């Protein structure tokens, strides 16, 4: 089964916690044990897993990424969003999480974040849930 999570981002750089939406899809599918693959079909966005308890962690990640990859530099791509393409590659386009006991097998402090690098936009994360 393939499902989409629709995401409306509000700023150029934004991390959206989609953990609850993913868990709702697993609940809806009634799967107790399996795998959940989250795929982001965009070239200027990504998906990552990191701390969801303290929002300053996400802020620190965003600040560090923006220092590493500035908005303006001598990029060849003329669309003005090369930084977003590079950040997308750094974050990656997919994550896979084990499902155990009907729950995403995340660590206590972990959340799954959709990573916007060229918002605001209408986006989606595609989710494939496989039962074993
Ligand atoms: Zn571009």
> For 62-114, how does the pLDDT look when each residue is reduced to its tens digit (9 = 90+)?
999 999 999 999 999 999 999 999 999 999 999 999 999 999 999 999 999 99
CA 117 – ligand 1 centroid, Å: 11
pTM, two decimals, is 0.97
The per-residue pLDDT for 1 is 80
CA 81 – ligand 1 centroid, Å: 5
CA 100 – ligand 1 centroid, Å: 38
CA 97 – ligand 1 centroid, Å: 29
The per-residue pLDDT for 35 is 98
CA 112 – ligand 1 centroid, Å: 25
CA 74 – ligand 1 centroid, Å: 14
Of the options 2.60.120.460, 3.40.1390.10, 3.20.20.150, 2.60.40.10, the CATH number for the domain spanning 2-131: 2.60.120.460
Share of the chain above pLDDT 70, in %: 100
83 to 15, 30, 34: CA distances (angstroms): 16, 40, 35
Ramachandran angles phi, psi of 131, nearest 5°: -90, 145
The per-residue pLDDT for 73 is 95
């Amino acid at each position: 089964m393939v499902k989409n999570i629709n995401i409306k981002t509000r700023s150029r750089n934004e991390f959206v916690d989609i953990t609850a939406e993913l868990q709702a899809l697993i609940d809806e599918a009634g799967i107790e044990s399996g795998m959940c693959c989250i795929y982001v079909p965009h070239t200027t966005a990504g998906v990552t897993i990191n701390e969801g308890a303290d929002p300053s962690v996400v802020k620190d990640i965003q600040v560090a990424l923006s220092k590493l990859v500035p908005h303006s530099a001598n990029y060849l791509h003329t669309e003005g969003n090369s930084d977003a393409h590079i950040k997308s590659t750094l974050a990656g386009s997919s994550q896979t999480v084990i499902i155990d006991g009907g729950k995403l097998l995340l660590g206590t402090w972990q959340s799954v974040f959709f990573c916007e690098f060229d918002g605001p936009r209408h986006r989606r994360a595609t989710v494939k849930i496989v039962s074993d």
